[in-house]
Amino acid sequence: MEPTRGLPDDLLRAAPKVLLHDHLDGGLRPATIVDLAAEIGHELPETDADALATWFAEAADSGSLERYLETFAHTVGVMQTASALTRVARECVEDLAADGVVYAEIRYAPELHVESGLELEEVVAAVQQGFAEGMAAAGDRIIVRHLLTAMRQAARAMEIAELAIAWRDRGVAGFDIAGPEAGYPPTRFIDAFEYLQRENSHFTIHAGEGFGLPSIWEAVQWCGADRLGHGVRIVDDIKVDDAGVAQLGRLASYVRDKRIPLEMCPSSNVQTGAAPSIAEHPLKLLASLRFRVTVNTDNRLMSRTSLSQEFGLLTEAFGYGWAEMEWLTVNAMKSAFIPYDERYRLITETIKPWYAAQVR
Ligand SMILES: O=c1[nH]cnc2c1ncn2[C@H]1C[C@H](O)[C@@H](CO)O1
Ligand SMILES: [Zn+2]
């Protein structure tokens, strides 16, 4: 069969992949949303699963992060009971395993799932139940951990950070902040980040997506982020001259020198306007400059994507082959929030042998 892109789709799916940035409430199956909405009487913009899938993709294609985020009302709205959360979490793991993901950190904001009376603890327990069921059903071909997100426009970051620590040995690998970036700098939550650092924990911060360098600078230099969610706008601190030589500003140099991972999400970045197109995505420049770039899905529902599809788009746009895909995958595995020995084992026993076996 002719490959549709630079690398054949079936092999892109089979390749072991690592996913660090994927929202649980951005990855529901459309048919599941229809089922869950019917159970609780939640009104949807479309009641047919295919039409609903199209609605999400089109509504999220807004060019603005704020409008993109409005679509989550219809996913969060149906994720308010323990059984719904468990189902969504289990299906998430099944879908990722079917796409060849071998390790994933899935994030969600517990504070968004308490509208019908669940406690924060019960939200995490329900998601953990679904992850455990999904991993078992996949024959342990995939490892999934939670990242607990606090919403920037709310004021519960400290509580959520404490929840992440309480669950650190029961599936939670770290913490994140998400939501509208402009007007909500990460320093508003400095107490939560300092608490996590004192607890020897890990966190990532959405930064450099809906706002520029000041947001990245605060995330790195004030808050101590281990990784950057997106971080696309770090290119604003890089100048490429007519001869194609790149000059890095001090912040860009720092991010590269410290090997701070960038959780890049190509399709999502085009939808929110953080990147003009896949072909012009800063990922290519940043990867060529050897930043610690990783490839992610962000919201598979809103972007109608999968991790293999994101890699497919990059192979098509930039001519990437197995060597680049392996580099990006090992970058992601090195940047995960699980212990070093577990990361090392996945790299040496699962990832490297598979890529070594491909004809290049
Ligand atoms: O790309 C994003 N940037 C900022 N916030 C986001 C993004 N994708 C999802 N979110 C928000 C909406 C979800 O309800 C929340 C928790 O997953 O995180
Ligand atoms: Zn995100």
| Number of compact structural domains in the chain | 1
Q: Which ligand is nearest to the CA of 160?
A: 1
Q: What is the pLDDT of residues 35-69, one digit of tens each?
A: 999 999 999 999 999 999 999 999 999 899 988 99
Write out the two tokens for 213: 């360098």
Tell me, yes or no, whether 120 lies in a domain.
Answer: yes
Tell me, yes or no, whether 352 lies in a domain.
Answer: no
**Short-list 278, 259, 274, CA closest to 332:** 259
Write out the two tokens for 2: 């002719």
Residues less than 5 Å from ion ligand 2, measured at CB: 298
Residue 210 contacts residue 182 (beta carbons within 8 Å): yes
Looking up tokens 């490429």, which residue turns up?
240
Residue 130 contacts residue 88 (beta carbons within 8 Å): yes
Tell me, yes or no, whether 350 lies in a domain.
Answer: no
The alpha carbon of 63 and the centre of ligand 1 are apart by a number of angstroms equal to 15
Ligand 1 site residues, Cβ closer than 6 angstroms: 23, 25-26, 65, 69, 72, 76, 107-109, 112, 149, 178-179, 206, 209, 268, 298-299
pLDDT of 360 higher than 80: no
**Residue minimizing CA distance to atom 1 of ligand 1:** 298
The alpha carbon of 204 and the centre of ligand 1 are apart by a number of angstroms equal to 13
* ipTM, interface predicted TM-score of the complex: 0.99
Q: What are phi and psi of 96, to 5 degrees?
A: -70, -40
Tell me, yes or no, whether 162 lies in a domain.
Answer: yes
Q: Region 99-128: what's the mean pLDDT?
A: 98
Q: Which amino acid is at 239?
A: K
Tell me, yes or no, whether 356 lies in a domain.
Answer: no
* Domain CATH code at residue 274: 3.20.20.140
Give the percent of the chain with pLDDT over 90: 96
The alpha carbon of 210 and the centre of ligand 1 are apart by a number of angstroms equal to 11
Q: What is the pLDDT of residues 237-265, one digit of tens each?
A: 999 999 999 999 999 999 999 999 999 99
Residue 320: which residues within 8 A CB-CB, separation 6 or more? 6, 7, 311, 314
Tell me, yes or no, whether 358 lies in a domain.
Answer: no
Q: Is the pTM here over 0.90, yes or no?
A: yes
Q: Alpha-carbon distance 85 to 80, whole Å?
A: 7
Tell me, yes or no, whether 130 lies in a domain.
Answer: yes
State residue 37's pLDDT score: 98
Tell me, yes or no, whether 191 lies in a domain.
Answer: yes
Q: What is the pLDDT of residues 61-98, one digit of tens each?
A: 989 998 899 999 999 999 999 999 999 999 999 999 99
Q: How confident is the model at residue 6 (pLDDT cuts 50, 70, 90)?
A: confident
**Short-list 206, 211, 210, 146, CA closest to 177:** 206
The range of the structural domain enclosing residue 284 comes to 9-344
The alpha carbon of 23 and the centre of ligand 2 are apart by a number of angstroms equal to 6
Nearest ligand 1 atom to alpha carbon 179: 5
25 is in an annotated binding site: yes
63 is in an annotated binding site: no
For residue 250, what are the CA distances in angstroms to 217, 235, 237, 253?
Answer: 10, 12, 8, 5
